Amino acid sequence: MEFKIKAIVIDKNGLHRTITRLAHEIIERNSGATNLAIIGIRTRGVTIAERLVKQIEIIENKQVPFGILDITLYRDDFRMRLKQPAVRATEISFNIDDMNLILVDDVMYTGRTSRAALDALMDIGRPATIQLAVLVDRGHRELPIQPDYVGKAMPTSIGEEVRVLLSEVDNDECVLLVEASEEV
Amino acid sequence: MALSSSHLLGLEGVPAADITTILNTAENIKTIFDRPIPKVPTLRGITVVNLFFEASTRTRISFELAEKRLSADTVNFSTSTSSVKKGETLKDTVRNIEAMKINMIVVRHSAAGVPYFLTQCTDANIINAGDGQHEHPTQALLDMMTLREKWGQLAGKKVAIIGDVMHSRVAGSNIRGLLTMGAEVMVCGPRTLIPPGMTEFGANVSYSVDEAMQWADALNVLRIQHERQEKGLFPSIREYHAEFGITRERVERAKKELIIMHPGPINRGVEMDSDVADSDASIILEQVTNGVAVRMAVLVLLSGMDTANE
């Protein structure tokens, strides 16, 4: 992928520290890891969610349930996009009723992805609470949705993009601010 | 992930990549069925017309369920209750329905080529739900999805299509789709019910059902329509059953693991015995479940596409 890098927002070590801090905040706010579950939004939200699960396990010595949410069928721009995203499966194998769910995404932008994710979760069950954790909040909200846990809040311009690179999927490990690419 | 056409008229010329996209999408959509609310909002605001000029129960119900699970608005149109009886032409019927601002048409007709004709007179996405003796693409896609679930892949596998291949649109689409996906196909039935040119088409031909069963990994057993016998294409239902019926004795004699499919509705005791249809080898009911998933996938994938470029 060709893109012009404007700044490295979080480097490799920073990424590890940020995720560790998010894990601590989640446990603190929920008074432990009981009745807690982590749900990652495809694609990079899943990787961050997996790391949060590992961190929480290290801190609390407790394995929290983990699920994967695919929101493609819930998008409000599904029919408008030039390039159709692939429909993939949601993998949540436990009952989410009355649980405290931590919904995890990489970058928070317009809020439309989070809106779709909330609708998708409501069709699966009735959780006690849903809390939103994001690695980067880049602003420009179009809907009244705010994250509960933020790795880094960062003002951006519309012409910029935030790229999260994670070693599990990208061969690199950092958060970059880049010039927006032409493709939609 | 977009398909290369904004209509699904048949599987002829549909590239393997498109078939794979449809099957992958269907497999993922199928996971919705187990949820407390087996419905997604993807096609909200989209109106789909089910235009059935020929009797159909399961295909129409399957499409309707698929549309409803995607939150589309649906309108059903069947010839018995429509102005087709009053002498309206097909083109006028479709132009009138389109004037009511609809987005997609699922069509079944006794004449081959009607789905193509509709693409020439409307802007809606057209899905063929069976046209004459030509194609029935969603049936072949659900057959392939069910086989792929069993095998993991279709390439290199052997599928024998047994029965009235001559008049079967299910066979028409299955042969095309399976060959595209790299599977091997054999057609088997009485000589009067096997069309000429099958070898040139890429399919093997056998007139012995025992031979076909030895060759195949899976059997797709077609429905025998009684009116074919009245036309003298085979002597009697009893003789057909004796020569080509899939009986338990034949399955046992084959001494191998065979997957058995049927597009339905089954004539029990004619093309297939009851104890075969209800045996562990039969995946007939899985085909029905997958039918809804495949049709949802096709609706979702086509709904994002503009028909103007075709």
pLDDT tens profile A66-119: 999 999 999 877 766 556 778 899 999 999 999 999 999 999 999 999 999 999
- Residue A138: name the closest of A153, A148, A128 by CA: A153
Per-residue pLDDT at A29 exceeds 70: yes
Q: B168: burial class by Cβ within 10 Å (0-12, 13-18, 19+)?
A: buried
| Whole-number pLDDT of residue B292 | 98
A89 with B25: Cβ contact below 8 A: no
Per-residue pLDDT at A30 exceeds 70: yes
Cα dihedral B292, B298, B299, B304 in deg (nearest 10): 150
Per-residue pLDDT at A184 exceeds 70: no
Per-residue pLDDT at B310 exceeds 50: yes
| Position with higher pLDDT, A79 vs A184 | A79
| Whole-number pLDDT of residue B80 | 66
A4 at B interface, C-beta within 8 A = no
Per-residue pLDDT at B12 exceeds 70: yes
- Is residue B145 within 8 A of residue B19, CB to CB? The reply is no
Place of tokens 């797709």: B220
B43: DSSP letter: T
B42 with A124: Cβ contact below 8 A: no
B36: DSSP letter: S
B36 with A125: Cβ contact below 8 A: yes
Per-residue pLDDT at B175 exceeds 90: yes
> Which residues, other chains included, contact B253 with Cβ-Cβ below 8 Å and sequence gap of 6+?
B210
- Mean pLDDT over B254-264 rounds to 94
Q: Find, in chain B, the residue whose alpha carbon is nearest to that of A89.
A: B28
- Is residue B256 within 8 A of residue B298, CB to CB? The reply is no
Nearest residue, CB atoms, B35 vs list A87, A91, A124: A124
Nearest residue, CB atoms, B31 vs list A74, A90, A123: A90
* The token pair that represents A164 in the structure block: 């999260």
A2 — pLDDT class (breaks 50, 70, 90) = low
- Is residue B174 within 8 A of residue B148, CB to CB? The reply is no
Domain A5-179 sits in CATH at 3.40.50.2020
B36 with A119: Cβ contact below 8 A: no
B228 — pLDDT class (breaks 50, 70, 90) = confident
- Mean pLDDT over A154-172 rounds to 91
Q: Find, in chain B, the residue whose alpha carbon is nearest to that of A116.
A: B41
| Whole-number pLDDT of residue B83 | 65
Per-residue pLDDT at B233 exceeds 50: yes
Task: Show contacts of B34-41: CB within 8 Å, 24+ apart.
Answer: B35/A123, B35/A124, B36/A123, B36/A124, B36/A125, B37/A123, B37/A124, B38/B69, B39/A123, B39/B68, B39/B69, B39/B70, B39/B71, B40/A73, B40/A74, B40/A120, B40/A123, B40/B69, B40/B70, B40/B71, B41/A73, B41/A74, B41/A119, B41/B71
Place of tokens 């409000």: A76
Instruction: Please tell me the distance from the alpha carbon of residue B196 to that of residue B210, in angstroms, as a whole number.
Output: 21
B261 — pLDDT class (breaks 50, 70, 90) = very high
| Whole-number pLDDT of residue A1 | 54
B112 — pLDDT class (breaks 50, 70, 90) = very high
Q: Find, in chain A, the residue whose alpha carbon is nearest to that of B37.
A: A123
Identify the sign of the CA torsion B93, B64, B218, B264. negative
ipTM exceeds 0.95, yes or no? no
Percentage of chain B exceeding pLDDT 70: 97
Nearest residue, CB atoms, B42 vs list A78, A89, A125: A78
B4 at A interface, C-beta within 8 A = no
Instruction: Please tell me the distance from the alpha carbon of residue B124 to that of residue A11, in angstroms, as a whole number.
Output: 50
| Whole-number pLDDT of residue B127 | 98
B192: DSSP letter: G
Task: Please give the radius of gyration of chain A, using alpha carbons only, rounded to the nearest integer.
Answer: 16
Q: What average pLDDT is seen over chain B?
A: 93
Which contiguous run of DSSP H or E holds residue B256? none
Domains of chain B: 16-135+289-309 (3.40.50.1370), 137-284 (3.40.50.1370)
Per-residue pLDDT at A25 exceeds 90: yes
A123 with B37: Cβ contact below 8 A: yes
Percentage of chain A exceeding pLDDT 70: 93
* DSSP labels, A90-154: -B--S--TT-EEEEEEEEESSSHHHHHHHHHHHHH---SEEEEEEEEE----SSS---SEEEEE-
Contacts of A79 in chain B (CB under 8 A): 46, 303-304
Per-residue pLDDT at B287 exceeds 90: yes
Query: Closest approach of chain A CAs to the CA of B10, in angstroms?
Result: 22
Contacts of A74 in chain B (CB under 8 A): 40-42
A123 with B303: Cβ contact below 8 A: no
B262: Cα separation from own chain's centroid: 10
Percentage of chain A exceeding pLDDT 90: 82
B128 — pLDDT class (breaks 50, 70, 90) = very high
Per-residue pLDDT at B295 exceeds 90: yes
Which contiguous run of DSSP H or E holds residue B135? none
Nearest residue, CB atoms, B28 vs list A78, A83, A87: A87
A112 at B interface, C-beta within 8 A = no
- Mean pLDDT over B80-96 rounds to 78
